[in-house]
Structure 1
């Protein structure tokens, strides 16, 4: 009986040790390494639904402390960009935010302009910018329309999620692309160029500038 008891105790200790070790490994894997204006990583390794939502939770918690309740979300044509944007939008709505989600893929400047001109508090752009197509990320835009300041990113990285579910959230689909194009038309002579004989070829390279 003594041997059985000791064996069970040893097995229990081993199980506990393995569980603790695996927990530490998973926590290390889930550590978010913030860079300039947000987070980027290799799709399926660093960039996952879990890591993207963790970044969103941290940012939503940070801006919520400043009595912020509005956020705009855009995404590019990278793998899973649209799906991640939708997940983050639902998460923000769950926490009581008024969410304005782009109804199609857009270039990053379109979201920056929308956040600024519509006086949104901040925005999420799902993109990895100039990185290769194997990467994706969550970039944060502040209310002045530019990329989040380094001081803001540092504060978000240290922020612990402290949000509670609320019933007053709102999720609205917005044509941010058309808003952006209409704004550009005020400053760029599209009609004049279209009447000229000079032809211009543009290759969007499968990016958000297509369409």
Structure 2
């Protein structure tokens, strides 16, 4: 029997042995039924986008076929396209929603499908559960009730909007852009050039195998970017993941920049011109809280998953929302993490002041903060039992420091008396448990992570 189709943190992803055209069509039928029966969008227009995997255009065609034969018009991206551009298109054109074919940073043997509702923000569980409950074989309406589809340019209108929004002037700024062969190529780099930056490209050719690795902008996958920034004496290096909803930044002094530090620098920069709270996930640094407190602002913590960040951004009129995995968005933009806009914003920040200098000042003012994580292999069917067992075995001390309190909003975040913390939570996209730690020194991080792994591994 095939594995069940289940929507995780950000849609349904699976290896291609499970992610097949008939199953994608079932999901598309579930989306059509949901739009017609619950979202009151019968006969509306739906955007369909897809990433740079060689299987993605075919799956996008499957979705388009099901939606149009169910009476919906479809506007289909004319090329592989970043997820945030598709989400922005919903708002720009007042669409019923969008379907995005992408497995984001997963290896080429995976693909995925996600539904984005009419507000452009990630679908909340009540939406994905409603779609899951409607999965069925496609059923077409009579031919005279079918919708139509057309291919369209999603990227150019997006460019026009964000260039006005950012008022970016990057003349003289040298940017190295690593597209990782994903959907950011020809988009993020072009946007930077339109803002007059000097852009040097790497991995911006079409390669649906992503050069044999995963399009994940992690430190180990961006060594060439770090080296190129150093060789060119560039001002900044930027990389996007496979569907360009996340980014990584490389600076001249630090090399690969921890995403938490980028978040801190970004919030600090935005507060020079605006006010407003920040939204961060439970796995993201408390450095954001220190910056907010210094400016008389609030911080709201959410479970991991940008859908929760986006929801809180709307509830609190937040200036920024972000996660330690490199996903961010800002006020007055679509509430979906956007690695394209953030790339432009990172370059704009750099044009005003080197990011390294800003971070040096932040750390001098607010104290050193270090964070890291480890992953523990764990089958999906063991995740919930492990977390349940962990609840009864939570310690009173971790690595010799007393536990002050425990936050169970997403797994267990164990807050310690010295201001450090340890988080254990199940991954929403991979068969793994994540162990995170934050403290004031690298040595303390290693000690906390060792303690976290020792606590969890016996339960798997």
Give your verdict on TM over 0.5. yes
Q: CA RMSD in A?
A: 1.7
Q: TM-score, normalised by structure 2?
A: 0.38
Provide, for residues 124-164 of structure 1, a one-character-per-residue CA deviation record: whole Å limited to 9, x for no partner. 00001222222111111011101111110011111254854
Which structure would you say has the larger RCO, counting Cα contacts within 8 Å and 6 or more residues apart? 1
Q: Which residue of structure 1 lines up, in the alignment, with residue 9 of structure 2?
A: 36
- CA shift, 1:30, in A, is 6.1
Report 1:111-122 matches (<5 A).
111-122=86-97
What displacement does 1:180 show? 1.6
Structure 1, unpaired ranges of 5+: 1-24
CA distance in 2: counterparts of 1:180 and 1:156, whole angstroms:
28
Contact 1:93–1:99 (Cα < 8 Å) also in 2:
yes
> Which position in structure 2 is the counterpart of 1:101?
76
The match for 1:142 among 108, 117, 121 is 117
Deviation at 1:186, TM superposition (A): 1.1
For the pair 1:156 / 2:131, whether they are aligned, the reply is: yes
| SS at 1:186 equivalent | helix
Match of 1:8 in 2: none
Structure 1 pair 48–187 and aligned structure 2 pair: CA distance change class (3 A) = same
Q: Distance in 2 between matches of 1:163 and 1:122?
A: 20
1:23-57 CA distance string (max 9 Å, x none)? xx3xxx163122124211012x1211111111111
Instruction: List alignment gaps of at least 5 residues for structure 2.
Output: 187-460
Moved over 6 A (4+): none
Residue matched to 1:179? 157
Structure 1-normalised TM-score? 0.79
User: What is the aligned partner in structure 1 of residue 106 from structure 2?
Assistant: 131
The aligned length equals: 180
- Separation in structure 1 between the aligned mates of residue 135 and residue 56 of structure 2, nearest angstrom: 25
Q: Is the 8 A contact 2:51 2:80 kept in 1?
A: yes
- Matched residue SS, 1:120: coil
1:43-54 to 2 correspondences below 5 Å: 43=16, 45-54=17-26
The answer to whether the 8 A contact 1:104-1:177 is kept is: no
Alpha carbons 1:37, 1:150 under 8 Å: kept: no
